Amino acid sequence: MIGWGDVYKVVVAMAPLYFALALGYGSVRWWKLFTPDQCGAINRLVIYFAYPFFGFDLAARAGTFAASYRVLAADVDKFIMCGARLTALSLVLRFVAGPAAATVGAVVLGLRGDLLRFAIVQAALPQSVATFNFAREYDLHADILSTAIIVGTLVSLPVLIAYYTVLGLIR
């Protein structure tokens, strides 16, 4: 069960990020400290330089070279650690609510056609590296997150094929 202490940990960890977000927005929107070209350069720096280091950090600390997956699978009491209801809820949130929210945001921004389809499919993809990074940093309910990630990754291929097919028919 998620307690108030867990919520407090998340708020304390996220407050500096939102403060930096507000400063960045203000420096571009109101104070005109950065031009759109400079913002694009910062975005490319994060995408091509910083984010791969997050993935490398995860792979370096995970110790997958020493893991025996048969031993890990035999050590687990249950495959679905958090129960069927929470697993179903996590799948609905990942494959229905996430793409629905992305669709609303994309339509509000004016995306149409292939860009809208790409945004919907991208929202349905499981972002395992980022999720494991957040789980490790905030130390929150690893059993629920690992179940959601494992089952979500297994289910993602048929769901993404279905999304791609349906979005191809809607043209």
The residue range of the domain holding 167 is: 77-171
In the chain, how many domains are there? 3
- Neighbouring C-beta atoms of residue 40, cutoff 10 Å: 11
Q: How far is CA 139 from CA 9, 126, 151, 171, in A?
A: 9, 20, 20, 43
Q: Please say whether the dihedral angle defined by the alpha carbons of residues 144, 147, 153 and 157, taken in this order, is positive or negative.
A: negative
Please state, rounded to an integer, the average pLDDT across all residues of the chain.
80
Assess whether pLDDT exceeds 80 at residue 7: yes
Model confidence, pTM: 0.47
| Pair (98, 67) in one structural domain | no
Contact 150, 25 (CB under 8 A): no
Model confidence at 151: pLDDT above 80: no
Domain identity same for 85 and 137:
yes
Query: Residue 167 has what pLDDT?
Result: 85
Residue 128, amino acid = S
